[in-house]
Amino acid sequence: MTTSLETVRKFCEAFSRKDVDELLEFFVDDAVYHNMPMAPVRGKVAIRTVLDMFLKPAQSVEFVMLNDAASGSTVLTERLDKFQIGDRAVDLPVAGVFEVEGGKITSWRDYFDMATWTKQTAAS
């Protein structure tokens, strides 16, 4: 059986493929995804909408894992999420908290500064 930490590592690695269907397979049907600067969403349809916001405009995505740790079903990550959006390289420091049950993500909370994202993605 895959550990919670292994599940999250595989999930983060999968972002580089930008395949939302693949990413959604990591979640239970009623999972909660909360980007802390925004309202939380529940369920795969809503999670798809949020993922599309970040993935569709990006030519490439990479989640660089700086640190991770697990305690039971809870996994903590410190990441640098890297996006190439047009001619802009966007580097977003993120701390994530995942809850994993039975090899599937039930809850995902990402903590980041929205101003850091906006400054790097806003049109000049």
Say which of 19, 52, 68, 81 is annotated catalytic: 81
Exposed, middle or buried by CB within 10 Å (0-12, 13-18, 19+), for 17? exposed
Nearest CA among 25, 22, 12, 7 for reference residue 62: 12
52 is catalytic: no
H or E stretch at 45: helix 44-55
30 is catalytic: no
Say which of 19, 21, 91, 110 is annotated catalytic: 110
* Residue 76, beta-bridge partner list: 69, 97
Active-site residue list: 81, 110
